[in-house]
Structure 1
Amino acid sequence: MNQSPDQTEPKRRGRRAGGEDTKAALLAAAREVFVERGYEGATVRSIAARAGVDAAMVNHWFGGKEGLFAKAVLQVPVDPNALVERLLDGPVEEIGERIVRNFLGVWDPIGGGQFAALVRSVTSHEQVADVLRGFFVQTLLKRLTSHIDAPDAEFRATLLASQIFGMGMARYVIRLEPFASADVDTMVKAIAPNLQRYLTGDID
């Protein structure tokens, strides 16, 4: 009888002695499984099995798969679900501004941090590109556009992704001046209107 991938997932031996040990094991397992299977293919059960812990620990420590991905792969203190709620909290016509402010608010203090490393790795690792597509487009941006009464939600999500990744590339990887050192208000005035058009405007 054939077994599902989750049933055949090799488990690490040994009992996890404490909470921090369990958390570290989940983070390590998640990095492996997300790269191997992509964001959509990685399941909570498969990650927990790889770590040798109960799947309930994923929700306990990270609030779900999205939060685990943010901590394990992006390595930033951002809860994806809370981020989407923040972006949707306010007038629809100001979402573009909130996207820019939240993006820069996360990455500017750490000079791009793991975002820059991920962008660099995309060009040589298709698995990483698959993970980023799954997380940013399918999980974050499509969830955002689905709350807005506008047609072509999937296309709008990819347009948002092109602008956001381009902003991160120019600011943190290439460090294109004066773009890289522009203050947040300048960035908002320049970029937010375009993001807003992608979200709610005419894209025909």
Structure 2
Amino acid sequence: MARTGRRPGPTSTRESIVAAAAECFAAQGFDATSMRGVAAAAGVDSALVRRFFGSKEQLFTEVATALIVPERALAAVAAGAPDAAGARLVRYFLSLLGDVSQPGPFFGLIRSAVDSEHAAALLRRLLADRVLGELATSFRSENAELGAALAASQLVGLAVARYAVRLDALTAAGTEDLIPWVAPVVQSYLTGTRIS
């Protein structure tokens, strides 16, 4: 009698679905991405996607938590002199976004946050609270919460202007060209020090 069900041994199906979903969210945003479309992109049956993830919101959560790993971000930004944390944060953030001509799946999270309250809440929790909030708190700023929110607004605004609106000067500039402009502002938000 033939066996049914999952084949024995390791499987990468779940990871393939998450990768396909990340690409779909990046290309289409949250609202336009469907479970059926993700299944087609992953080369699996849509019932399997539902069995693994249940809903599009849960699938998006899985994609977001795979892309935004607060511990990794904090380690990348915390390694080095405190007065250069803003530069490290901007560099890390831009590396997540990828090349201007072909943004990576992280931009899909930002793009999806415009369409979906679920995506916006998740981005707030992972990026603003867990990463930027903890960074601002580590600087013992009196206005850590406001500083984290302002840093998030700066970084998300940069992402939208560069990758979605595609302002010519921002798309032409390289990462190392942008850092000296953006980093001092982000640094001031994290430390609670106003630029005069």
- TM-score normalised to the size of structure 2? 0.66
Identity %: 30
Residue 195 (str. 1) matches residue 180 (str. 2): no
| Distance verdict in 2 for CA 1:79–1:73, change over 3 Å | closer
In the alignment, the residues of structure 1 paired with residue 111 and residue 17 of structure 2 have an alpha-carbon distance, to the nearest angstrom, of: 25
TM-aligned CA deviation for residue 15 of structure 1: 6.5
Bigger CA drift: 107-116 or 163-172?
A: 107-116
Give yes or no for contact 1:75–1:114 (8 Å, CA) kept in 2.
no
What's 2:92 paired with?
102
Deviation of 1:146 (Å): 2.0
Say if 2:152 is the partner of 1:148.
no
Residues 79 and 15 of structure 1, relative CA distance in 2, 3 Å threshold: same
What is the CA RMSD across the aligned residues, in angstroms?
A: 3.3
Higher relative contact order (CA 8 A, sep 6+): 2
Equivalenced residues, count: 156
Q: 2:136, 2:147 within 8 Å by CA — same for their partners in 1?
A: yes
The Cα shift of 1:131 comes to: 1.2
Counterpart code for 2:80: G
How far apart, in 1, do the equivalents of 2:77 and 2:12 lie?
A: 33
Structure 2: give runs of 5+ residues left out of the alignment. 23-29, 31-50, 54-59
1:100 CA drift (Å): 1.3
Q: In structure 1, what is the Cα distance between the partners aligned to 2:132 and 2:7?
A: 36
Whichever residue aligns with residue 79 of structure 2, its letter is: D
Secondary structure of 2:170's aligned partner: coil
Q: Please state whether the residue corresponding to 2:106 is helix, strand or coil.
A: helix
Match of 2:126? 135
**Residues 113 and 25 of structure 1: is their aligned pair in 2 closer, same or farther, counting only changes over 3 Å?**
closer
| TM-score using structure 1 length | 0.63
Indicate whether 1:124 and 2:110 are aligned.
no
Query: What is the SS of the residue equivalent to 1:104?
Result: helix
1:181 to 153, 169, 172: 172
Q: Shift of the alpha carbon at 1:175?
A: 0.8
Deviation at 1:121, TM superposition (A): 2.5
